[in-house]
Amino acid sequence: MAAPESGDGNNGAARMVTLISSDNTRFEVEAAAASLSQTLQLTILDGGGGGGDGIPLPNVDSATLSKVLEYCIKHAPAAANGGAPNATAVDRAELERFDNEFVNIDQSVLYSLIMAAHNLEIEGLQSLVAKKVADMIKGKSPMEIRRTLGFPDPTPEEQAEMNAHMLEYGWAYE
């Protein structure tokens, strides 16, 4: 469900804005959804992004942007009525289900999302993705963390550094 709205504006009222990814793909979304980004919100409040102009996002590619917008579109209604007060338990459960599903993705996409969420200052997305990475770290040794997150094998030099750093907090390895 929830295919991103294609902006046909059948309620006639929603204002649309156009975002342009680094690889020149144009995305048309409701201003309310794009405004989850603190960065975009200012531009949109100033009246930008409408008509044929579009807002260029030189740091975000189309694959990442489509993923980001999927998040924004899903979360925009809840954000519009100030989050919790009117939300029913069902709504919240549905958002939670969506979030869990949403971060169930390849690591490279996850990292691109973190960077995009920071660039665009989308608070909810930042913490959602950061939490996902943190969950991958919990309870693991430094070496296990490196393997899980796809670091290359340490060089002897890096290994020596790791050993030295482990001594700094010896109590964490008992």
Partner 1 sequence: MEASSSRSRSGSTTQKRCRAVGAAGSGLTVQALNDDALRSVFSCLDDHFDLARCSAVCSSWNRIIKTADVMRDLYYKRNPQARGSSSDISMKSYFEELAMDEHVSSLSRGSAEVYQWSGHPLRATLCRMKSGLILTGVGDKILRLWSAESCKFMNEYNVPNAKTLVDFDFDENKVVGLTSSQFCIWRRNEPRSIFQSGGASFHHGSCMSYADPEVVIGCEDGRAFVYDMYSRSCSSIFR
Contact between 31 and 15 (Cβ < 8 Å):
yes
**Size of site (CB under 8 A) for partner 1:** 64
Query: Residue 164 region, left (φ>0) first, then alpha (ψ -120 to 50), else beta?
Result: alpha
Per-residue tokens: 31: 């201003």
Q: Which is nearer to partner 1, 65 or 76 (CB)?
A: 65
Sign, CA dihedral 26-32-34-40, equals positive
Residue 67 touching partner 1 (CB under 8 A): yes
Q: Which is nearer to partner 1, 7 or 77 (CB)?
A: 7
Residue 6 touching partner 1 (CB under 8 A): yes
| 84 φ, ψ (degrees, to nearest 5) | -60, -45
Q: Which of 50, 77, 124, 142 binds partner 1 (CB under 8 A)?
A: 142
Contact between 41 and 35 (Cβ < 8 Å):
yes
Q: Which is nearer to partner 1, 5 or 87 (CB)?
A: 5
DSSP 173: G
Q: Which is nearer to partner 1, 41 or 119 (CB)?
A: 119
Indicate the burial class of 109 (C-beta count within 10 angstroms; 0-12, 13-18, 19 or more).
middle
Per CB under 8 A, which of residues 86..105 are in contact with partner 1? none
Residue 108 touching partner 1 (CB under 8 A): yes
Q: How far is CA 138 from the centre of its chain?
A: 21
Q: Which of 12, 58, 82, 85 binds partner 1 (CB under 8 A)?
A: 58
Instruction: Provide the binding-site residues for partner 1, judged by CB under 8 A.
Output: 3-7, 21-23, 25-29, 58-67, 70, 106-109, 111-116, 118-119, 126-127, 130-131, 133-134, 137-142, 145-146, 149-151, 154, 158, 161-162, 165-166, 168-169, 171-173
